[in-house]
Chain A
Amino acid sequence: MPDWKQIVRKKFRVVGVWSPEWTEELAGHLEDIYEAFLHRGLPPEAAFRRTVVQLNRRSEICLTLRIIQEVVMTDFARKVGLPGLLTFALSMGIAIALEMAHVQPKTILLGNGLPLSLPPTAWLCLLPFCGAAGALVSHRSGGSRLQRIAACLFPSAIMVAVLFMVFVAGFAISLFVPDSGWNWAFTVPALALWLTGQAILTAVALLPGAVAGEQIKRVRLLS
C-alpha cells in the first residue's frame, strides 16, 4: 500500500500552512480511491497511476491556492484587515498628494518646549471619505458594526502600533547604548503629544465616515 500521507505531504510541502489534519484527510481520500480501483480489478501499478491523477498539476495548484485563500482570508482579513488597509492606503495616498502640493503638517512648540505636530487641515477634512470607503468594503464583506468601525480606524491603529514600536526600540537602544539621549521626562510627554496630534486626531477625523455610512444604511433600511 503506498504511503499516501507521505505523497500528500510531498506534493503540498510548498504550503507552509499545511496541517497534519488536512494531510490525513486527503491521504484517506486517495487511499479510498486507490482501493476502489483495486476492487475493480486494476493491477496495483495502474490503480496507483490513476489515483495520483487526483493530485495532478491543476488539482495541486487549485488546492494550494484555495487552502492559502482559506487560511489567509480569515474573517478578520476579509472584514477588517483588507478594508482597513484600503482606508490606510487612501489616507496615505491623500497625504502624499498633499505633500506634493506643498501642504505641510503644522508643528506648534508648546510652553515647555515640546513639539505638537498636527496633520494638515485639508487631510483631516478628506479623512472621513477614506473612513467611509473602508467601512463600506467591510460592510460588503459582511462586517458587523464593530468590524466596520475597526476598518475605518485602521490607519490610527497602525499609527499607534508604529508609535509603540518606536518607543520600545528607543528604550531598548537606550539600555545598550550609553549616552543615547533617552530621557523619560521628555520622551513620554513627546510621545503622548504625538499620539494625540496624529493617532487620536486622525481617528476623530476618520470616524465621521463610518458614522455617515451607518446613517445612510439606516435611512435605506427605513425607506
Chain B
Amino acid sequence: MASVNAQIKRGSAELAVLTLLAEHPLHGYEIAKQIEAQTGGVLRFDMASLYPMLHRLERKSWVKAEWQTLLNGRRRRCYRLTASGRKQIAPLRAQWRAFFQALQSVTGFQNA
C-alpha cells in the first residue's frame, strides 16, 4: 500500500475518528485498531498522534470522554460523539469530497 503524506493523514484523521465514533463510543486503543483495520493500514495512529488529537476534539466539545469499567474489570476512557461533533461530520465530508473532486479534475485519478 502506498504511503500517505503526513499532512493528508493529519487532516483526514479528525473526520475518520468522528465518523467512527458516530457509530458507538470507543476507547483510544479501539479507535486506533478499527481505523487501521478499516483503512487496510493506510491510516495508522500511534499514541503520539492519537491522544493529543482526541483531547483536542474533547476541548472543542466534539467528543466527550467518560471512564467506563469494561467486562474484564479494567477502566478505559471511552470517547463518544457529542451533538456538536455530529454536526461537524457533514461539513468535513463535504470539504474532503470537494478536495478529492478538485484533485481528480487535475490528476485524472479515479476513486477506487
* A interface with B by C-beta (< 8 Å): 21-22, 24-26, 28-33, 36, 54-55, 58-60, 62-63, 66-67, 69-70
A-B contact count (CB 8 A): 49
Total interface residues on B, CB under 8 Å, equals 18
Q: Is the interface of A mostly helix, strand, loop or mixed?
A: helix
Is B9 an interface residue when CB atoms closer than 8 A count as contact?
no
B52 contact from A29, A31, A55, A67, Cβ within 8 A: A67
When the two chains form their complex, are residues A59 and B56 in contact, meaning their CB atoms are under 8 A apart?
no
Known: A29-B28, A29-B29, A66-B52. A24 touches B47 (CB 8 A): no
Give per-residue flags for B36-77: 1 if the beta carbon is below 8 A from chain A beta carbons, else 0: 000000000011110110011001000000000000001111
Partner of B47, one of A26, A36, A69, A70: A26
A24 touches B75 (CB 8 A): yes
List 14 other contacts, CB 8 Å, given A30-B47, A33-B29. Answer: A22-B51, A24-B77, A25-B51, A26-B47, A29-B29, A29-B51, A58-B48, A59-B48, A63-B47, A63-B51, A63-B52, A66-B52, A67-B52, A69-B52
